[in-house]
Amino acid sequence: MTTSTEQPSRSETPKLLKEEKAKVLAALKAADAKKAERLVLIDLAERQTFADYLMICHGTSDRHVKAIHEAIAEALRKLGSRPIGVEGEALAQWILMDYGSLVVHIFYEPLRDFYDLEGLWADCPAFDAPALLKPRTRAKASRKLAAGAERES
């Protein structure tokens, strides 16, 4: 077990359960697209039964928090996934979205450090989500750029 001062490696790729991969990646991409800050994925699969993954991020204002929430909800709705529950929408200081195996926490920036969920789950593998997304994003952008150049020729 790691102590609270040690952090699990964030350079690895999480071993996403096959059936959850699309849901997790859709939520990460939606949050990233709305410029969610300090986007982290915590793997709880081997340590807890209430969820396999926690996604934690924050916005810089209540409007930003709401925009991140709406983007994630829409992305998961397109996959046919409905939340079991959503809390905190009205104030948008801390929105919790429960999708069963995936629980999403979207904080207003000042509250994130106060509640320190990453510290609470410090003994679980954690991953910097943008690092998981960027290689795909760059490759996709390169393909789009190349396809656009071919059309213009």
- State pTM to two decimals: 0.75
- List of residues 6+ apart from 118 with CB closer than 8 A: 40, 42, 56, 126
CA 132, chain centre distance (Å):
10
**CA distances in angstroms from 115 to 25, 66, 105, 107, listed in the order given:** 25, 19, 11, 9
- At 32-46, the pLDDT tens digits run 999 999 999 998 877
pLDDT at 131 over 90: no
Region of poorest pLDDT, from 8-12, 13-17, 61-65, 91-95: 8-12
Alpha carbon distance 55, 97 (integer Å): 10
Q: Classify domain 18-152 at the CATH topology level.
A: Beta Polymerase; domain 2 (3.30.460)
Alpha carbon distance 134, 48 (integer Å): 28
Give the confidence band of 15 by pLDDT, cuts at 50, 70, 90. Answer: low
- At 34-92, the pLDDT tens digits run 999 999 999 887 777 788 899 999 999 999 999 999 999 999 999 999 999 999 999 99
